[in-house]
Structure 1
Amino acid sequence: MDKDKRKLNLSKIIFKPIRNEKWQPITIPVVSIVISFIAAAIVILLIGKNPLQAFYNLLQGAGIMPKPAYAGYKSMLTDFLSLLNAMTPLVFASLAVAVALKAGLFNIGVSGQMLVSGFIATIIVGYSGLDAIIAKPLVLVVGFITGGLVGGLVGWLKYRFNINEVVSTIMLNYTAQYIISFFIQMYYIDPLSRQSKYVSEEARLTLVNVEMANLKMDIPLGFILAIVVAILLKFLLDRTVVGYEIKAVGANRKAAKFAGINVGKNMVLAMVISGGLAGLAGVTYYLGYYASIQPKVLSSMGFDSIAVSLLGNIHPIGIIFSSFLVSIIDQGSTYMSSQAGIRQEIASVIIGLILLFSACGAYLKHKASQLKEKNVDRKERRS
Structure 2
Amino acid sequence: MIKYAALFTVLFCLNAFAQQSHHNLIIGTYTNSCASDGMYVYDFDTETGEAQLKASTKNIVNPSFLTFSTDKKFVYSVNENGNDSQVSAFRFYSDSGNLQFLNSKSSEGNDPCHITNDDTNVLVANYSGGNITVFGKNADGTIATYKQIMKHQAKRADDAKVEPSHMHMVQITSDRKHVVASDLGKDFLYVYKYNPNEKSNILELDQFLSFKKGMGPRHFTFSADGKTIYLLNELDGSLFVLSFVDGEFKVVQETTVVERKFRGKTSAADIHLSADGKFLYATNRGDANTISCFEVKPNGKLKLVQTVSTLGKGPRNFAIDPSGRFLLVAHQYSNEVVIFSIDSATGILTDSGKRIALCSPVCLVFE
Q: Which TM-score applies when normalising by structure 1?
A: 0.22
Larger Rg: 1
Q: Give the structure with the larger helix fraction.
A: 1
Q: Give the structure with the larger strand fraction.
A: 2
